[in-house]
Every structure is written in structure tokens, then in C-alpha cells.
Structure 1
Amino acid sequence: MNRKTDFNFTPGVVGYPVLFILAIWIVFWIEVRFGVNFNYLGIFPRKLSGLLGIIFSPFIHSGIKHLFNNTIPLFVLSMALFYFYKSISWKVLGYGFLFTGFITWLIARPAYHIGASGIIYLLASFLFFKGIFSKYYRLVALSLMVVFLYGGLLWYVTPIDPEISWEGHLSGLIVGLFFAFIFKKNIAEPPKYIWEHPDYDEEEDDFMRHFDEHGNFIEKLPDEITEDEQEDKIEINYIYKEQKNKKD
């Protein structure tokens, strides 16, 4: 039995999320070690200088609790993205990075918005809706797992806590849903199984493809067969029938 599937585990499935998280922790270590504060590099809505935050804000966190709360879901969700949607993972992550930050820049309150929460909501939203749209049991199961693990995140797309950038969360949710529609055609195909009989002979099968069910040579149309090929056809046809008689 041969199995064909788009789901393949590669080093990047774990490696890329680890590198991303490592970069976030290094930035936080620099802040603590050298007593600096990078909050001014966050997204500040509707100011040109605040556009820099679209790139830098996901790497900046207000404290160890904020950083730890983002680390685990970011690792789990990004790993799922690279495993189940390898062909479009960088497009989702790269464009999502930019669009989530830009929407936050457009709609958020006038304050510095920092943290990787917007990316987490982007990934959770994309994985959930994409799996539902696929109607493929593995991806639907992934969607249900996302709901089970991170369904509580939905509360934080509303202004229930003034210290939380709910605008960034909402932006990620919107972009994830949008991408699930945009990349709707890039759904992994269900595994296909090819069953092979234990007595299957590939060479014999290739040889027999030149004949129809009655044992007649059909590699070329009659008007395309030359006299020499006609003689070869008769000889091959004879050999084939002799072999068939021996097997019977």
C-alpha cells in the first residue's frame, strides 16, 4: 500500500517557530540586561512613526508574564501552520504579520501597542476557519483542537481590559478569517491509497498495456502502423498469447 499526503514533518515545522520565539526572548533579555525599554517601537495608531511598530511590536513585551502567556500558544499554533499548511505557511505568516499590524494601526486607541498577541489571533483564526472550510477530517479536528485549547481567546477581542490591546486581537482575528477565504483553494488533499496485489508485476503490467482485452496490440492506431511494425505486432501478440496460455 502506498500513501500520498501533503502532511510531512520537516525540521522547519519545529525550527521556524523556535527561531521566532527565541528572537522574542532575546529582545526581552536585552531589555532586562541593559535596562532599556523598546515600547516606543510598538504600534502607535495613525502616526507615521507608529508604522514601525508593524514590524517591531510582535517582538516587544511588557513583562515576563506577558511574554510567557504568548510563548506557548505562539509555538503550538505556528507549528500547526507549518505542518498542515506548509505550502502557504510563509504567505499566511508574512502577509498576516503586515495586515494585522496595519489594521491595528488604523483602528486602535492612541497608545503603544506591543506583543505577539495579534499574530496568535491570526493563527488561531486561520487554522480554525480554514479547517472548517476544508471539510477534511484532519483539518476539522485541528479546528476543534484550536477551539478547545484557545477558545477563551475570543473574549479578548472586546474591550474588557483597558490594559490589553483588544484591537490587535480583533485585527488578527479578521485577517485570519480573510486569509481562510483567500487561500481556500490551497486545501490539503485527503490521503490517497493505492492498493497493490502481492503478485503484481510492474514490468508485466507495462508490457500488457500495449494490448486490449482481447490481446490485440493497441499501442498505435492501425493507419499509423508500418509493415515492419505490423510484423512486430504479430510476433509480440503471439508471444503474449503463449505466455498467457502458460499461466492459465
Structure 2
Amino acid sequence: MRGAGGRAPGPMPRWKSAGVAVVGFVAVLYLLELIDSIMGGRLDSLGIEPRTIDGLWGIVFAPLLHFGWPHLFANTLPLLVLGYVLALSGVGRAAAVTAIVWVIGGAGVWLFGGAGTEVAGASVIVFGWLVYLLARGVFTRHWADIVVGVLILVAYGSLLWGVLPSSPHVSWLGHLFGAVGGFAAAWLLGRDPSGDGRAAQGKIGE
């Protein structure tokens, strides 16, 4: 297909593809929360239940689910900002970082989370993206990555307190292992610059 003037349309600019990817991801979270609301919260059962066989599915689904709209609203702005900054380095690389954070964060919660709890929420991703953006400059040794890391530290560094225990309804372990996943992603991917590669009793929000 050719555009006006007989010229084939070029690839989407990176700033635009980054925005589309991040907004699309957040839109999926809102759609799932709407479906969950209509179903009376039944999707919440797909969260991580530590050290149970059924709870293993939560590693896959938990970051997509939230315990009510306020829980999702709290994660939305960090997801949009950090996700966009991350995706500016390439949607493929952002997907690779997210996959590493997703698996390490979820597995950590499943192994070490409190018995009899359910954990869900996208903040495991938020903390993974945050730490990745902070740490990648250490491994890439690229000045732009270092500058971005410093700016992110100034803007969102206070979030790092979330890796410490606070409210019993907040999964600090999800934050901690999400952060571990982000550091692992920075270490694994930073060495290859060409790679593009609602809170209730018994329920814990990330």
C-alpha cells in the first residue's frame, strides 16, 4: 500500500508507538476491571495464592487484576509515565523487560507471600519498570539512560519505600520482587544494547 504521492507509509515514530503500547496496556486493565465489576469481583479469584497449585495461575493473571477501581486508579499514573518512558527505548525491549518483571515478581510472591492471601495488582510491574529505569544506565553506560534514571529517581524515587512492609492490605513483597525483576532485566538486557527485544481481609493489592 502506498500513501499520498505514491510513497509507501513509513514506520510509526517511536514516540507514537510507545504511547499506543502503554495506553493500550492500561486500557486492557480498565476493561478487565469493568468486566470484574459486572461479574461481582469473580475475577479476583485469579490472583496469586501463595504456595497453592491453583495460585500458580495468579503469576499469569495477577498483574492484570485489581481489587476495585481505587486500586486501579492508584496504579494508573505510574503505569502511564514509567511505561511510556520505558517504551521510548523500543516496544520490543519494553515487552522483554515486562516479561522478566512479570515472572520474577509473581514467582517471588507465590513462594514467599502470606498463606491464605490473594495478591493482585499491576504495581509489581510499576516497581519493576521503576527499578529497571533507575538501574539500566549502570549496565548500558549510556549517558542518556543515566540522565533518565536520575530524572526518574527525582520524580518517583519515593515509591521505593513501598518495598518495605506497611499496610497489611498492600503486598510489599509484590513491590520487592517486582523491583528484583526490574534489576534483573536491567542486568540481562543492559549488557546487549541492540536487544529490542480493592483491599479486603485476605486480599492484598499490589
Give TM-score scaled by structure 2 length.
0.81
Name the SS of the counterpart of 2:66 in structure 1: coil
Q: Which residue of 2 aligns with 1:191?
A: none
Take 1:42 and 1:67, find their aligned partners in 2: how far apart are those partners? 14
Secondary structure of the residue aligned to 2:88 is helix
Q: Give distance in 2, aligned partners of 1:116 and 1:148.
A: 22
Larger radius of gyration: 1
Counterpart check, 1:114 vs 2:120? yes
- Which residue is equivalent to 1:9? 14
Report how far residue 86 of structure 1 moved.
4.5
Higher relative contact order (CA 8 A, sep 6+): 2
Q: How far 1:173 moved relative to its partner?
A: 0.7
In the alignment, what sits opposite 1:65? 70
CA distance in 1, matches of 2:135, 2:151: 12
Q: CA deviation at 1:10?
A: 4.8
The equivalent residue for 2:160 is 154
Give 1:37 shift. Answer: 3.0
Q: Give the distance between the partners of 1:19 and 1:86, measured in 2 at CA.
A: 12
Structure-2 separation of matches of 1:131 and 1:76: 18
| Residue in structure 2 matched with residue 165 of structure 1 by the alignment | 171
Separation in 2, partners of 1:36, 1:170: 26
**Residue 87 (structure 1) shift:** 4.9
Q: Deviations over 1:96-122 (max 9, x none)?
A: 212211111111112100100101111
Aligned mates of 1:58, 1:86 — CA distance in 2? 19
Report the alpha carbon displacement of residue 89 of structure 1 after superposing the two structures with TM: 2.2
Tell me, in whole angstroms, the C-alpha distance in 2 between the residues paired with 1:140 and 1:132: 7
Residue of structure 2 aligned with 1:128, choices 123, 126, 134? 134
Match of 2:88 in 1: 83
Distance (whole Å) between structure 2 residues aligned to residue 30 and residue 42 of structure 1: 15
Q: Which residue in 2 is equivalent to 1:45?
A: 50
Structure 1 stretches of 5 or more lacking a match? 1-7, 189-248
Unaligned stretches of 5+ residues in structure 2: 1-12, 195-206
8 Å CA contact 1:132–1:143 kept in 2: the answer is: no
Give per-residue Cα distances to partners, 1:157-184, cap 9 Å, x unaligned. Answer: 1112111000100001111111211123
Identical residues among aligned pairs (%): 30
> Which region of structure 1 is more displaced relative to structure 2, 30-39 or 100-109?
30-39
- TM-score, normalization: structure 1? 0.68
The question of whether the paired residues in 1 share the 8 Å contact of 2:132 and 2:182 is answered with: yes
Distance in 2 (CA, whole Å) between partners of 1:66 and 1:57 is: 13
Specify the SS of the correspondent of 1:128.
helix
Report the RMSD for the aligned CA atoms in angstroms. Answer: 1.7
Number of aligned positions between the proteins: 181
CA distance in 1, matches of 2:92, 2:61: 26
- Whichever residue aligns with residue 155 of structure 2, its letter is L
